[in-house]
Amino acid sequence: MVSLTQIQAAQTDSEYQCLGNLNLYDSPALDKLATQAVAGRQFRITHTLNSQAIQVKLCEDDYPGWLAAEDLDLIELAETDYRAQSVAEAEIQRCLPQVIAYCHLAMQQPNRYLWGGAVGPNYDCSGLIQAAFMASGIWLPRDAYQQEAFVQPIGLEALRPADLIFFGTAERATHVGLYLGDGCYIHSSGKAQGRNGIGIDRLLDLENSDSAADLVSQTYMRQIRGAGRVMASYLPV
């Protein structure tokens, strides 16, 4: 356990480790989840605003967030600084069946869509993708638009299992799914236009699809931006 006094006295480049799963918020108000950090992850403290909110940056993916001071009992000083390891493309390819299996297993657990969810059982779209690759030692950026910028772009006609499919607006990716093959992908989608949790949908020919059976698939096909292939593990800047 680390106290606020210890944090304020520590060097700014000190690293801390999560002893349990942590919620990180998108502002010092601590009222909206930004992401979650699974036990074992490391972070640096970038700013201590007050006795309630501490700004941090996760080491593995450079993702920022605010930690509630009441959760300081779930962190400790890290024994060693985080050292990112590059992962060869051949090793990534070997791990892809495990990535797909992770998503299938997550779908089998009772779950719902959770904005910022990244440790399960409740995920958001990019949190599920990041967690699935992380479980095999492959790091991706946190958000869908960051993942889209990180992967190698490919055409939809070139999709292979475990490629990523991106959806959103003309300006930005706002949703991501994992391609399974045979025109299907798995993703965690919300209530407004999805399944409120993890499910499998299809890439469709919108002109010939069954509007009743394929409502969710149709909704996302109208927002499709493209696809990408994971060729490397993220290295912090």
The DSSP result for 17-84, as a single string, is: EESS-EEEESSTT--SEEEEE-TT-EEEEEEE-SSSEEEEEETTT--EEEEEGGGGGGEEE-SS----
pLDDT of residue 154: 98
Do 94 and 176 lie in one domain? The reply is yes
Q: Which residues pair with 18 in a beta bridge?
A: 75
* Residue 73 within any structural domain of the chain: yes
Q: What is the pLDDT of residue 9?
A: 56
**139 & 220 share domain:** yes
CA–CA distance, 234 with 50 (Å, rounded to integer):
32
Tell me if 26 is assigned to some domain.
yes
26: domain range?
A: 4-77
Predicted local distance difference test score (pLDDT) of residue 2: 72
Looking at the fold, whether 207 and 98 belong to one and the same domain comes out as yes
Last residue of a domain, one of 51, 77, 103: 77
Distance CA 208, CA 186 (A): 22
Domain termination site, one of 23, 57, 77: 77
- Is 106 in the same domain as 210? yes
The verdict on 70 and 96 lying in the same domain is no
Whether residue 184 is contained in a domain is answered as: yes
Shortest CA distance to 234 belongs to which of 164, 98, 142, 169?
Answer: 142
Rounded to whole angstroms, how far apart are CA atoms 151 and 210? Answer: 32
The H or E element spanning position 179 is strand 173-181
The pLDDT value given to residue 123: 98
Tell me whether residue 83 is in a domain: no
In this prediction, residue 15 carries a pLDDT of 95
Domain count, the chain: 2
**Measured distance CA(61)–CA(81) in Å, rounded:** 14
CB 65 within 8 A of CB 35: yes
Is residue 82 one of the residues assigned to a domain?
no
The helix or strand, by DSSP H or E, that contains position 197, with its residue range, turns out to be: strand 197-202
Question: Does the residue 235 lie in any domain?
Answer: no
User: Domain with 215 in it: what CATH number?
Assistant: 3.90.1720.10
Tell the residue number behind the tokens 């089998």, with chain if given: 108
pLDDT at 73: 94
The reply to whether 234 falls in a domain is no
Tokens 């499709």 belong to 224
Residue 134 and residue 23 in one domain: no
Q: Do residues 129 and 68 share a domain?
A: no
pLDDT attached to residue 7: 62
61 and 124 belong to one structural domain: no
User: Does 34 share its domain with 103?
Assistant: no
Written as tens digits, the pLDDT of the chain (237 aa) is 676 666 665 556 689 999 999 999 999 999 999 999 999 999 999 987 678 999 999 999 999 999 999 999 999 999 999 999 999 999 999 999 999 999 999 999 999 999 999 999 999 999 999 999 999 999 999 999 999 999 999 999 999 999 999 999 999 999 999 999 999 999 999 999 999 999 999 998 877 777 666 899 999 999 999 999 999 999 998
